[in-house]
């Protein structure tokens, strides 16, 4: 079996939940503190051993490409001014991985965005990472998913337990029995089910490992929930031909496409930083007291 070394990051969506900020700035470029969200996601892929990254972009997403390219003028200015730390920070994104791009000409849905990666991926297994799901876990989940794929040779999707009232916003998995070591085989998967029809409270949470056969399934899907070509529908087709597993994610996930999780991720990452953490923690304690939030 070929090792997993490629990752696809679909970043061609319209980002409507973050308007008006995303009118001209790609959602994936919104900073979590001082680094764009997508940089954390590329870093996670690299941390799991995936060094060939394909970003699916669209109109208005040029800033994403600029970010992973060199900016010679800026580098020279920082070097001239002796700003070594900033120079390292600026160069970091263009040394992280081998980053490629393909355009999705129309935002027809996540399934369609993944299908345009076919030519680049070829006949290899690959990971898909949604850039609006931020994992603060040192690539633990993705590494476990790669290991599971390399053991079974079948698709693996990340799953997170949700409250029953939230499940209708997500892809929802139907597991067979209980997870063993965080992994469970699936009987089915359905996109945005009504609460009363949901087969479980396990939502698909933005990380996937696929065999190349997913592209044949993507060729066969029709517009589904919301009129979009849904990746979940292709996984349901794949399930009819081969096993698909779920990897349970228990910590570290922030859906930064939602404002509340965007704020939570910023707070948690700020607390983790040596340069900001201590002062920010003092501020938070004071704020909680002043507002009577404790």
Query: Residue numbers of the site for ligand UTP (CB under 6 A)?
Result: 10-17, 27, 56, 104, 107-110, 112-113, 130-132, 257
Cβ-Cβ contacts under 8 Å for 120 (sequence gap 6 or more): 6, 8, 54, 100, 102
Q: What are phi and psi of 92, to 5 degrees?
A: -55, -50
Comparing C-alpha atoms, which of 247, 21, 263, 38 is closest to residue 130? 38
Say if residues 58 and 105 touch (Cβ distance below 8 Å). yes
Q: How many CB atoms lie within 10 A of CB 84?
A: 10
Query: Minimum distance from CB of 144 to ligand UTP (Å)?
Result: 22
Closest to ligand UTP by CB, 63 vs 284, is 63
Q: How many Å apart are CA 5 and CA 121, to the nearest integer?
A: 10
Q: How many CA atoms lie within 13 A of 68 on its CB side?
A: 23
At its nearest, how many Å lie between ligand UTP and the CB of residue 148?
Answer: 23
Measured from the CB of residue 207, what is the shortest distance to ligand UTP in angstroms? 12
Which single residue brings its beta carbon nearest to ligand UTP?
13
Which lies closer to ligand UTP via its Cβ, residue 55 or residue 156?
55
Shortest distance in whole angstroms from residue 269 CB to ligand UTP: 19
- Cβ-based nearer residue to ligand UTP, 10 or 246: 10
CB nearer to ligand UTP: pick between 58 and 270: 58
């Amino acid at each position: 079996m070929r090792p997993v070394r490629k990752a696809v990051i679909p970043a061609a969506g319209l980002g409507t939940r973050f308007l008006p900020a995303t009118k001209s700035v790609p959602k994936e470029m919104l900073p979590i503190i001082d680094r764009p969200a997508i940089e954390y996601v590329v870093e996670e892929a690299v941390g799991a051993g995936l060094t060939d990254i394909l970003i699916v972009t669209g109109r208005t997403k040029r800033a994403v490409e600029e970010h992973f390219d060199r900016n010679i003028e800026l580098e020279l200015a920082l070097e001239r001014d002796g700003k070594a730390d900033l120079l390292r920070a600026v160069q970091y994104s263009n040394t992280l991985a081998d980053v490629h791009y393909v355009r999705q000409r129309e935002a027809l849905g996540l399934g369609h965005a993944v299908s345009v990666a076919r030519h680049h991926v070829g006949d290899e297994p690959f990971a898909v990472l949604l850039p609006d799901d931020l994992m603060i876990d040192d690539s633990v989940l993705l590494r476990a998913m790669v290991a599971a794929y390399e053991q079974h040779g079948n698709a693996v999707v990340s799953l997170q337990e949700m409250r029953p009232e939230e499940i209708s916003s997500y892809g929802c998995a139907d597991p067979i029995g209980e997870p063993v070591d965080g992994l469970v085989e699936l009987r089915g998967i359905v996109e945005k089910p009504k609460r009363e029809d949901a087969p479980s409270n396990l939502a698909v949470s933005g990380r996937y490992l696929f065999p190349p056969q997913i592209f044949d399934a993507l060729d066969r899907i029709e517009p589904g929930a919301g009129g979009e070509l849904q990746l979940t529908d292709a996984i349901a087709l794949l399930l009819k031909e081969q096993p698909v597993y779920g990897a349970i994610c228990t910590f570290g996930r922030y859906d930064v496409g939602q404002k509340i999780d965007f704020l939570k991720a910023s707070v948690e990452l700020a607390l983790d930083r040596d340069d900001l953490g201590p002062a920010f923690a003092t501020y938070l304690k004071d704020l909680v007291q002043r507002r009577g939030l404790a």
